[in-house]
A and B are shown apart, each in its own frame.
Chain A
Amino acid sequence: MKSKKVKIFFFVIAFLGLIIFIPGRMFVRHHVNQKTAVTDHPLKCTSCHLYTSKNKIVSNLINEDYYSPFNIAVSNDGKRLFVVAQDTGELLIVDAESKTVVQKVKVGVHPHSVILDKTNAFAYVSNQWSDNISVVNLATSKVLDTLITGNGPSGLALSADGAKLLVVDTYGSDLSVIDLDTKEEMKRLRTGSDPTGTALSPDGKKLYVTSRRSKIVPYGEPLVSDLTQIDATTLRVDEHKDVEEAYMMENITFTPSGDLALMTLIRPKNLIPSIQVEGGWMMTHGIGVIDQNNEGRIIQLLTDQPNAYYSDSFDIVVSPDGKRAYVSNAGADKITVMSVDSIRAIIKETPKEQLKNIANNLGVSSRFVIDRISTGANPKGLALSPDGKKLYIAEQLEDKIGVLNTETLKMETAIDLGGPTRITVARQGRRLFNNAGHTFQNQYACYTCHPDNHEDGLVYNMAGKDMGRNVTNTQSLREIGDTPPFKWNGKNQTIYKQDGMRFSTVLTRTEQFSYDDLDAITAYIKRGIKYPPNLMYNPHGKLTESQLRGKEIYNRTKDNSGNVIPENNRCYTCHPAPLYSNLQPADVSTLAVSDDSILFDTPHLGNIYASPPYLHDGRAATLEEIWTIYGEDNKHGYVNDLTKMQLNDLIDYLKSLGGPEQEDEGYQEQQTASF
């Protein structure tokens, strides 16, 4: 009797299980298919509901706090390394011999670079997300002072007499000159767009500042980026040099003799239909050489090869004897070792009329590249020991400092900074995002078009249907996790679809991400990419009077004549806080003749100030142009009754917009992402 009851019990359980399981599984299958746009994605609830969870407890459990070393400096005696740990906001002091971290000094938010003064008494650390410099007393390993800079301080240089600190302001696109006696900013010099790199000539007379974004040019015209040449004695801008067809000039250095300055760069192919990767049709990577003996003419050389690309060149250093240069290829996990003499020979023999062609020749690298050395994940900043025998490499996503023996060109045991050993799903996603290994022949990473997880300011001919149609402005990836659908036409309901099969067919043109990798990159893009704080237009969380007036206009329901503005023509209807997007498609009357007939996905407006050009095809160079030139029909919001002052106020308000947290909770210093 008892046995019968047990059997019945198990039968009922099994029956109920089947009733739940079969339709439940069908429901889950349908749900996963809908989200991923494929029919064979594993039914893993964790993919979306754990790895992309916004719950703080869950997020803390599944993620880790990595150091993410970004830049390095070496002491004069070579015994100490000073490592910028970007994600923890620290300066790590490392004993180079024992390869151990001996001190951690808390600095500002999202530090970028570090430089030492001549006597190694102080280290200056630029804090890109707190708009200041931490002055670290190296005797006590404590922050002695904090110097106020422009917006987004990054690259650093000291004047020849050591009296002035020259700070590149990335977000402000200028250079702050700080008097180290008074600790005040003396002046600010205009540079190119989104600068980071700077180098002072060995004679102390000339300073270069490299920019990363191109100047805004109408679509169809080749991109041109700015290399700013500054007289380092008078601290005046000498010249804005045009660097044609190149951008992302991350860093620059001089040879010890000062005859050449070398900078990293990317030569994108945004004007060419993106119909193939073969033959360098999407991206090429290389260096720019500024020949000091020839009126500063700029020669560009590719470091890529015909079937192999070394994406996202980041830092460049030259050996003390001036014979070798080293470039970190952040997207290829490589160091490219180059012969400077061979570069000199190429420059000497290249006539002016050949410069353009040589910049597109993948075969030239075989003449000056000595070797390619594999490193840990995402090599960024480089520093040579004083004797030039060791090259230290900030392996950002390895949490290590790679050590290259420059005599044998072999990697030695890396310096483990002591970060988490576990690679979380989101960290793996960040590695994938920054690595070009998932593109045919490693030609570009996600990062290449989305530097700093943002956008590169270019408009691409993505050749959707035919080759000359549907050019598209690159969109920022910051805080997009809660703003589906994706793409300008909103055709991708999830990041899974965006980065899935079609992504590999039309963009990366190699094997698609495995589903584990797709989980990882989705987790990173959805939750790992934060806005930098909008210190430029909203530094204290309080709107200015102009911005408050602009906010009223943004939220208005009546025009200047008192007439009711139709609901669907009010700013806030389509761009409501906190996301500033209603996530719906809209017609804003900006379709070009060359566009397919589509509605546009409504983009969010967080940190919109940092995303020129504007509109889906980048036709508006500034926010103003959206309404002054391209908004005459009042379809992109009702604005034509606004006075010039009112439009200025509206723009001021739009520029003040940051992330949702900023709107909800008032400004607070953002913590770095733990991914």
Chain B
Amino acid sequence: MFPKNTFNSYLIVLAMCFGAIGMHSCKQKPLTHMIVMTQNKGDVESRDYSKGDKLQYMSGSRIVAMNTTTPNEPLDELTSDFYSACSPKISYDGNFMLFAAQKNQDDVWQIWEMNLHNKKKKQITSSDHNCIDPDYLPGERLVFSKEVKNKDPKVDTEFTLFSCNLDGSNLAQVTYDPSTYFASTVLSEGRVIAIGKELWPEEKPANFMIMRPDGTKKELFYQMEQDHYITSGATEMNNGRILFVEANSNNQKDLISLSYNRPLHSEENLTSEIKGDFHAISPYHDNKVLSSYRPENALHFALYEFDVESRELGRPIYEDGENNILEAVFVQKKQRPRKLPSEVDLNVKTALLVCQDINFQYSQPTDSTIPAFKASKMEVLGIDSTMAVFKTEKDGSFYIKIQADTPFRLQTLDDNNNVVKGPSSWMYLRPNERRGCIGCHENRELVPGNVQPLAVTKEPIPVPTPKQMDAPKRELKM
């Protein structure tokens, strides 16, 4: 029908088409039956996130992989060319792994990514300071903690949350207050939950804080009981529970479960009946999690399966006599979290904050003989000095325009400038962020009443800062 040359040409074109289709369909399939975990010979007692002033990382640790179908075969060492490696996190497609590693003993920790199929690694961060605790963000990005040297001599170092592209570009700072942030986890709804601890002017207990990936709308997610401290990052289950490990005043480390829907009032200790310590957990199958557990009187943590519903600890999945088995993650494809839009505009240098009523109280005082101390002013405190004092509106509302990315605290004053309430925890607003609060309320489960604050009928009060409002932005470098 066609001359031979033409026919051959068609054959070539067809072959190319099939080739292209074949290439397309040969996309990497997620690995199955693989658990990656951190092995460590050393003492893990010191891993305590409540001590936010120094790096608590596992020197000499390594990441290994085991095949759950052949548990007796030797483990596959994934990070043999590193002195230390830990904190594995798996990509949503199940093909890649983020981790923190030291190439050599005295190197700083950097973030790396590994293709789990061919074990090729690429370095993501090239920082002068330690970068740890990575997790994947939707949109080919990651969030991690980076050590920054604090200017205040009272605070040695702190870890600040940053995000960047998976190739290390487009670095963005996420948190801006004198607190330290560790162990971030990206929740399915798109926000980042991290352990946060205020360091200045005095250290406060660590809590779980939650924020959008751009750092906006940061708020308390879970508050520790007194004398308790968090020893692991948060893990989200498919049923909406948030799990983590918490140490009590006797230093027993248990698995704690929270309802995502009501985190401040839903704490359940899942392992109070189990003696021994838990170290870290991650989702496994159905209601089960992988947990690093060390029985009472045992020397090392081993890898166990734990059923969250029945609260039963299964048999060890893997243990060896020499190493702690820590931070185990089951390699599987999972739902990508939502990619939240960002209101941050770096061309804007300010942000807006409105408060409905600084005198708001959920519970009205029942004893009318006790005089009610009413605040009439607001003081905005910066790191070193007062940034502003202003009168609030008759309804107790205020509305300020404040320099972005600048930490501040709030305290209310009466007519005589006596402190009525405060100071608050550290806050910061991102460029162009707009934020609202109900008041200095004690009940964090309240929604605002449907009332227009008087303050927003006027222009916002500009809050000056010690720095020049127009100072050029510093370019961020790794």
Tell me whether B341 is interfacial, beta carbon within 8 Å: yes
A281 with B341: CB separation less than 8 A: no
* Category for how many chain B residues contact A: 35 or more
Tell me whether B251 is interfacial, beta carbon within 8 Å: no
B189 with A441: CB separation less than 8 A: yes
A273 with B447: CB separation less than 8 A: no
Q: Which of B263, B339, B450 contacts A306 (CB 8 A)?
A: B263
Task: Report A-chain residues with C-beta under 8 Å of the C-beta of B354.
Answer: 273, 275, 467
Q: How far is the CA of A356 from the CA of B362 in the complex (A)?
A: 10
A468 with B450: CB separation less than 8 A: no
Contact with A along B181-204 (1 / 0, CB 8 A): 000000001100000000000000
Q: How far is the CA of A306 from the CA of B354 in the complex (A)?
A: 20
Which of A1-9, A321-329, A385-393, A638-646 is near enough to bind chain B?
Answer: A1-9
Tell me whether B423 is interfacial, beta carbon within 8 Å: no
Interface residues of B in 417-471 (CB under 8 A from A): 434-436, 438, 443-453, 456-460
Interface residues of B in 352-408 (CB under 8 A from A): 352, 354, 356, 362-364, 399
A353 with B341: CB separation less than 8 A: no
Q: Which of A269, A281, A306 contacts B264 (CB 8 A)?
A: A306
Tell me whether A663 is interfacial, beta carbon within 8 Å: no
Given A354-B364, A467-B434, CB of A271 within 8 Å of CB of B450: yes
Q: How far is the CA of A272 from the CA of B452 in the complex (A)?
A: 5
Tell me whether B15 is interfacial, beta carbon within 8 Å: no
Whole-angstrom distance between the Cβ of A568 and the nearest chain B Cβ: 34
Q: Is chain A's interface secondary structure helix, strand, loop, or mixed overall?
A: loop
Cβ-closest chain A residue relative to B339: A511
B448 with A360: CB separation less than 8 A: yes
Given A222-B451, A363-B262, A511-B340, CB of A440 within 8 Å of CB of B189: yes
Whole-angstrom distance between the Cβ of A67 and the nearest chain B Cβ: 32
Q: How far is the CA of A269 from the CA of B453 in the complex (A)?
A: 12
Task: Report B-chain residues with C-beta under 8 Å of the C-beta of A511.
Answer: 138, 190, 338-341
Query: What count of chain A residues pass the 8 Å CB interface test?
Result: 52
Cβ-closest chain A residue relative to B217: A278
A-B contacts at CB below 8 angstroms, number: 142
Given A220-B452, A306-B445, CB of A276 within 8 Å of CB of B436: yes
Interface residues of A in 43-77 (CB under 8 A from B): none
B262 with A276: CB separation less than 8 A: no
Q: Which of A245, A272, A510 contacts B340 (CB 8 A)?
A: A510
Given A276-B217, A353-B364, CB of A245 within 8 Å of CB of B3: no
Task: Report B-chain residues with C-beta under 8 Å of the C-beta of A306.
Answer: 261-264, 444-445
Task: Report B-chain residues with C-beta under 8 Å of the C-beta of A597.
Answer: none
A510 with B338: CB separation less than 8 A: yes
A275 with B352: CB separation less than 8 A: yes
Q: How far is the CA of A234 from the CA of B65 in the complex (A)?
A: 80
Q: Which of A279, A307, A357, A466 contacts B262 (CB 8 A)?
A: A307
Interface residues of B in 314-367 (CB under 8 A from A): 338-343, 352, 354, 356, 362-364
Whole-angstrom distance between the Cβ of B266 and the nearest chain A Cβ: 8
Whole-angstrom distance between the Cβ of B359 and the nearest chain A Cβ: 14
Whole-angstrom distance between the Cβ of A359 and the nearest chain B Cβ: 9
Cβ-closest chain B residue relative to A365: B262
Q: How far is the CA of A362 from the CA of B444 in the complex (A)?
A: 9
Tell me whether A534 is interfacial, beta carbon within 8 Å: no
Q: How far is the CA of A284 from the CA of B260 in the complex (A)?
A: 18
Given A363-B445, A467-B434, CB of A267 within 8 Å of CB of B450: yes
A269 with B456: CB separation less than 8 A: no
Tell me whether B265 is interfacial, beta carbon within 8 Å: yes
Whole-angstrom distance between the Cβ of B366 and the nearest chain A Cβ: 9
Tell me whether B107 is interfacial, beta carbon within 8 Å: no
Q: How far is the CA of A75 from the CA of B444 in the complex (A)?
A: 47
Task: Report B-chain residues with C-beta under 8 Å of the C-beta of A281.
Answer: 436, 447-448
Whole-angstrom distance between the Cβ of B46 and the nearest chain A Cβ: 33
A360 with B263: CB separation less than 8 A: no
Task: Report B-chain residues with C-beta under 8 Å of the C-beta of A512.
Answer: 341
Given A272-B451, A275-B436, A511-B341, CB of A360 within 8 Å of CB of B446: yes
B452 with A307: CB separation less than 8 A: no
Q: How far is the CA of A356 from the CA of B357 in the complex (A)?
A: 15
B447 with A356: CB separation less than 8 A: no
Whole-angstrom distance between the Cβ of A448 and the nearest chain B Cβ: 14
A307 with B6: CB separation less than 8 A: no
Q: How far is the CA of A360 from the CA of B362 in the complex (A)?
A: 10
Task: Report B-chain residues with C-beta under 8 Å of the C-beta of A272.
Answer: 356, 436, 448, 450-453
Task: Report B-chain residues with C-beta under 8 Å of the C-beta of A571.
Answer: none
Task: Report B-chain residues with C-beta under 8 Å of the C-beta of A34.
Answer: none
Task: Report A-chain residues with C-beta under 8 Å of the C-beta of B152.
Answer: none
Q: How far is the CA of A362 from the CA of B362 in the complex (A)?
A: 13
Whole-angstrom distance between the Cβ of B83 and the nearest chain A Cβ: 39
Interface residues of A in 215-238 (CB under 8 A from B): 220, 222-223
Q: How far is the CA of A267 from the CA of B450 in the complex (A)?
A: 8
Whole-angstrom distance between the Cβ of B221 and the nearest chain A Cβ: 9
Task: Report B-chain residues with C-beta under 8 Å of the C-beta of A370.
Answer: none
Given A361-B445, A362-B447, CB of A6 within 8 Å of CB of B189: no
Shortest beta-carbon contacts, A-B, top 6: A280-B447, A468-B456, A363-B445, A275-B434, A271-B452, A505-B341
A-B contact pairs, 20 of them (CB 8 A): A6-B6, A220-B452, A222-B450, A245-B449, A269-B447, A272-B452, A278-B217, A279-B436, A305-B261, A305-B262, A306-B263, A306-B444, A308-B261, A356-B449, A357-B446, A360-B447, A366-B266, A467-B434, A505-B343, A511-B190
Given contacts A3-B3, A223-B450, A505-B342, list 19 more A-B pairs with CB under 8 A: A272-B448, A272-B450, A272-B451, A275-B354, A276-B434, A279-B447, A279-B448, A306-B262, A306-B444, A354-B363, A360-B448, A362-B262, A466-B352, A505-B343, A510-B189, A510-B338, A511-B138, A511-B339, A512-B341
